[in-house]
Amino acid sequence: MQRKLLIAGNWKMNTTHDEAVALASSLVEKVGTIEELDIAVCPPFPYLFAVGEVIKNSNIALGAQDVFYEDNGAYTGEVSAAMLKDANCKFVICGHSERRHIIGESDELINRKLLKSIAEGLFPILCVGELLTERQAGETMEVVSQQVTRGLEGVSAAVMKSVTIAYEPVWAIGTGVNATPDQAEQVQAMIRQLIGQIYDSTIAKQIRILYGGSVKPSNASELLACPDIDGALVGGASLKADDFCEIINRGLEVSRE
Q: In angstroms, rounded to a whole number, what is the distance separating the alpha carbons of residues 118 and 33?
A: 27
Does residue 173 bind ligand PEP (CB under 6 A)? yes
For residue 57, which phi and psi values (nearest 5 degrees)? -105, 20
Q: What letter does residue 88 receive in the DSSP assignment?
A: T
Amino acid at 37: L
Using the contact rule CB under 6 A, the part of the chain among 76-84, 151-159, 180-188, 231-239 near ligand PEP is 231-239
- Residue 62 parent element (H or E): strand 60-64
Interaction of residue 214 with ligand PEP, rule CB under 6 A: yes
Q: Answer yes or no whether residue 212 interacts with ligand PEP by CB under 6 A.
A: yes
- β-partners of residue 124 are 92
Q: Residue 175 Cβ, how far from ligand PEP at the closest point, in Å? A: 7
168 classed as catalytic: yes
Whole-number Å distance between alpha carbons of 125 and 233 = 9
DSSP conformation class of 152: T
> What whole-number distance in Å separates Cα of residue 166 and Cα of residue 125?
6
Q: Least distance to ligand PEP from the beta carbon of 76, Å?
A: 25
Task: Determine, following the binding rule CB under 6 A, whether residue 248 of this chain makes contact with ligand PEP.
Answer: no
101 is catalytic: no
- Is 95 a binder of ligand PEP (CB under 6 A)? no
Q: Answer yes or no whether residue 169 interacts with ligand PEP by CB under 6 A.
A: no
**According to the 3-state scheme, what is the secondary structure of 95-146?**
CCHHHHHHHCCCHHHHHHHHHHHHHCCCEEEEEECCCHHHHHCCCHHHHHHH
Q: Does 130 bind ligand PEP (CB under 6 A)?
A: no
Is 174 a binding residue for ligand PEP by CB under 6 A? The answer is: yes
Among 233, 245, 247, 254, binds ligand PEP (CB under 6 A): 233
Nearer to ligand PEP by Cβ, of 86 and 242: the residue is 242
By CB under 6 A, name the binding residues for ligand PEP.
10, 12, 168, 173-174, 212-215, 233-237
